[in-house]
Amino acid sequence: MGKRQLFLMSSSAVHGFGYLEHAETDLSSFLKHNSVQKVLFVPYALTDHDGYTERVGSVLRKWGFACNGIHTFADPVAAVRAAEAIYIGGGNTFLLLRTLYERGLVGEIRERVLQHGVPYVGSSAGTNVATRSIQTTNDMPIVQPPSFEALALVPFNINPHYIDPEPNGTHKGETRPERINQFHELNDAPVLGLPEGTVLFVDGDRATMMGPQPTVPGTVYDARLFRKGQESMLYKIGSDLSFLLQQ
């Protein structure tokens, strides 16, 4: 996996920042470092493909990158094969994965990223599908994909939009840690809870926690790692998480 280049964002929207603004410095560097001039955007997690591509593309253009929506190509597989970089946006994870399977893109994207080193950018649902499965998404199962298995660009699961329980909450629905513990009653893979604002950056066999300078005083961007049968652990921005890649 020496070529693998992944920029996995928890979310596009972050409290205290404009849309994608929290990632401007790091994502621009990631793309420039990989000599990317044009990004292939995959808007399948939402239904308004044109609107979604314009929303992301207008930000990328401001930063100096061109952006095309995969839905504008007659042959999406060929579009992936020709892409300088692939960026899968957030929305509904089930809709996204179903569409990737329908269009025959799961194997193709995996091969481009893992074998050819094409840089991959994901946000929220686009980060979920980058992992081994979508089993730790927060989304509603509004459509049924043929499988929950995903791109498997990394051998563990991520929970985007991760949030610790409110200390004095009155809502009795399962907290995020309770949901992830239920996952571990039936599955073995580690789950990295990425709070909004944070990014998992993967460079070959190295993985690093990244995140912005907070604009709201007191904001803490710690990721919480859940492993089956163990206490969860917090990891600060800058932490080396390469051990998660060795499964």
Instruction: Give the footprint of a second copy on this chain (CB under 8 A).
Output: 11, 13-15, 47, 91-92, 94-95, 134-144, 147-148, 161, 163, 170-174, 179-180, 182-183, 185-187, 196, 216
Report the run of H or E that residue 128 belongs to, with start and end: helix 125-128
Q: How far is the CB of 140 from a second copy (least distance, A)?
A: 5
- Please give the single-letter amino acid code of residue 82: A
The full DSSP string for 21-56 is GGGHHHHHHHHHHTT--EEEEE-TTSS-HHHHHHHH
Cα 37-125-39 angle, rounded to 5 deg: 10
Is 161 labeled as catalytic in the residue annotation?
A: yes
Q: How far is the CB of 185 from a second copy (least distance, A)?
A: 5
Nearer to a second copy, 53 or 92 (CB): 92
Nearer to a second copy, 112 or 176 (CB): 176
Q: Give the active site residue among 161, 171, 240, 242.
A: 161
Nearer to a second copy, 77 or 163 (CB): 163
Count H helices, E strands: the chain? 7, 11
Q: How far is the CB of 139 from a second copy (least distance, A)?
A: 7
Q: How far is the CB of 146 from a second copy (least distance, A)?
A: 10
Q: How far is the CB of 48 from a second copy (least distance, A)?
A: 9
Separation in Å, CA 237 to CA 11, 73, 126, 148: 16, 38, 21, 30
Nearer to a second copy, 13 or 77 (CB): 13
Do residues 192 and 223 make contact, with C-beta atoms less than 8 angstroms apart?
A: yes
Nearer to a second copy, 147 or 247 (CB): 147
Nearer to a second copy, 53 or 159 (CB): 159
Edge-to-edge order in the sheet of strand 66-69? 66-69, 38-42, 86-88, 120-123, 5-9, 199-203, 206-210
Phi, psi of 227 (to 5 degrees): -125, 140
Question: Which structure tokens are listed for 125?
Answer: 């649902």
Q: How far is the CB of 46 from a second copy (least distance, A)?
A: 8
Phi, psi of 65 (to 5 degrees): -115, 145
Q: Give the active site residue among 139, 171, 188, 242.
A: 139
Q: Give the active site residue among 10, 124, 133, 222.
A: 124
Phi, psi of 193 (to 5 degrees): -85, 110
Residues marked as catalytic: 124, 139, 161
